[in-house]
Copies of this chain bind each other. A is one copy, B any other.
Amino acid sequence: MGNDAPIGVFDSGVGGLTVAREIMRQIPEERMVYFGDTARLPYGTKSKQTVIRYSRQIIRFLKTKHVKAIVIACNTATAQALEELQSETEIPVIGVIDAAARVASSVTKNGRIGVVGTTGTIESGMYTKVLKSYNPRVQVYGKACPLLVSLVEEGWLHDSVTEEVVSRYMKDLEYKSIDTLILGCTHYPLLRSVFRKAVGEAVTLVNPAYETAMELGRLLDREGLRCSADAGPADSKYEFYVSDAAEKFCSFANSILPYDIEQVRQINIEGYESEERAY
């Protein structure tokens, strides 16, 4: 595996495309293999044990593509599985939480940070743990927002219903005087303007997709893994795989990415179960 190997990126579905999009913008010369686990989404409601098992299957698949590094472009999988996956994988694995937490803990002035995400991400307490590792004195206020993924996938991005739902979720944070809010689910950057409207101008919004792509660039530099030359047009540089419903994935992807995907391949991800771990 050389420097010209691709980066592996995975998510439970389409949300991780906001991370893929940032990688395309910030380090456009790198190849990328994206996997969306559309047959088993959403991960946000699943247990830690199940999310770890699914993530292991996906990493086994990505390794068949000889990736040089892996980005878990999913907050739930990062919260539930990053530590296990890092300890058992020989190539670098990063998640979407660490970089965002580092930035949030450095930009906050009053030390009061809000985090929004799926139920799984918030209940895992992972953002709180990582934020406190950077600054033990920050106060972290988590709020699960389980309706927002459906609203984004319905395409109601700039919509009065979505505004009402976000504003209602934000009410719970209203009296916490946060000055920084982490958009802790990969779908939420697509609702950035709705969150902005709900929380006002005084709150700094932190976008983990953006911060993670920055982190990936620094990681590749540090490990001497940058590719030697741009691999050419997007269609030859980027590959997309899903576990189900490739067409629907494709149409959502094309509404987000800066170019139109020509091909999304469907694979049977359950076939990548490690024998010694099957039960």
Contacts and interface: CB of A to CB of B under 8 A. Distances in A.
Interface stretch (A62-70, A135-143, A150-158, A224-232): A150-158
A30 interface: no
A211 to B, nearest CB: 28
A82 to B, nearest CB: 20
With most chain B CB atoms within 10 A of its CB, the pick from A40, A46, A279 is A46
Interface in A46-60: 46-47, 50
Interface in A259-279: 268, 270-271, 273, 279
Contacts of A244: 45-47, 50
A147 interface: yes
For this complex, into which size category does the number of interface residues on chain A fall?
Answer: 20 to 34
A147 to B, nearest CB: 5
A24 interface: no
Contacts of A153: 146
A154 B161 contact: no
A38 interface: yes
18 contacts: A38-B46, A40-B40, A41-B45, A45-B244, A45-B248, A46-B244, A47-B244, A50-B244, A146-B153, A146-B154, A147-B147, A147-B151, A149-B150, A161-B161, A161-B164, A161-B165, A268-B279, A271-B279
